[in-house]
Amino acid sequence: EPEVTQTPSHQVTQMGQEVILRCVPISNHLYFYWYRQILGQKVEFLVSFYNNEISEKSEIFDDQFSVERPDGSNFTLKIRSTKLEDSAMYFCASSSGIGETQYFGPGTRLLVL
Amino acid sequence: GENVEQHPSTLSVQEGDSAVIKCTYSDSASNYFPWYKQELGKGPQLIIDIRSNVGEKKDQRIAVTLNKTAKHFSLHITETQPEDSAVYFCAARGPGAGNMLTFGGGTRLMVKP
């Protein structure tokens, strides 16, 4: 069964450093998403991406965040200058179309020290 | 924006009993309501979903009901098994272009053998 994969599974970084989280969505999917879950809190939407551009973003997704689909298979989330409060589990998801089921990856646990 | 509240936050049942988790949403324009199961260390996995043109949907031991007038929807698990133990999240999707899901706070279900 096709699945969304994410790398790395864990990342530890120093405050102020840049991190790139990587995702490989399901191969025939066209819509891609990033969500995050701070420990003990709700899963929160960050951004959705379609046709090589952002379709929607939340207030959390400020200028420190960017997304990119650098090739035909990868979808990345970059945090330019990490803050302590960026520590969270980051989930990538994909769907085959607008309104279709979103399938989530296993997540990347980011710890900012 | 959309706000989803989920209750209870924890639920403990005996194996074989039923479990019910309830969610309310605020945006009457929301039209899609998935339920995700999250096991420790994994990403959310879709278990069932319902669209706003349907009042109930069932898949084996799992059912979801939707009351659009009252803006609430519920997950029902019958004949619970220890492997049903996990955190369950409800979510709602509004009609926005980005397909964003708004999640509830989660319910930790514990099924005691």
Q: What is the DSSP string of A32-87?
A: EEEEEE-TTS-EEEEEEEETTEEEEE-TT--TTEEEE--SSS-EEEEESS--GGG-
List, for residues B60-70, the tens digit of each pLDDT value: 999 999 999 99
Instruction: State mean pLDDT over B87-100.
Output: 86
Chain B nearest C-alpha distance from A58 (Å): 9
**Res A60: pLDDT:** 94
Which of chain B's residues have a Cβ under 8 Å away from the Cβ of A44? 103
Chain B residues with CB-CB distance to A41 below 8 A? 105
Which pLDDT score, from 0 to 100, does residue B97 have?
63
Calpha distance B111→B11 (Å, rounded): 8
Residue B59, SS3 per DSSP = strand
pLDDT of residue B1: 81
**Joined tokens for residue B63:** 């059912």
User: Phi and psi at residue B83, in whole multiples of 5°?
Assistant: -70, -5
Which residues of chain B are within 8 Å of residue A43 when distances are taken between CB atoms?
Answer: 44, 89, 91, 101, 103
Q: Residue B60 has what pLDDT?
A: 95
| Residue A99: per-residue pLDDT | 81
* B36, B41, B42, B48: CA torsion to nearest 10: -20
Least confidently predicted of A23-37, A79-93, B92-106: B92-106
pLDDT digits (tens, 9 = 90+) for B1-36: 889 999 999 999 999 999 999 999 999 999 999 999
The per-residue pLDDT of chain A, averaged, comes to 94
Show the tokens assigned to B4.
């989803």
Q: Give the pLDDT band of residue A2 (cuts 50, 70, 90).
A: confident
pLDDT at B86: 97
The yes-or-no verdict on residue A91 having pLDDT over 80 is: yes
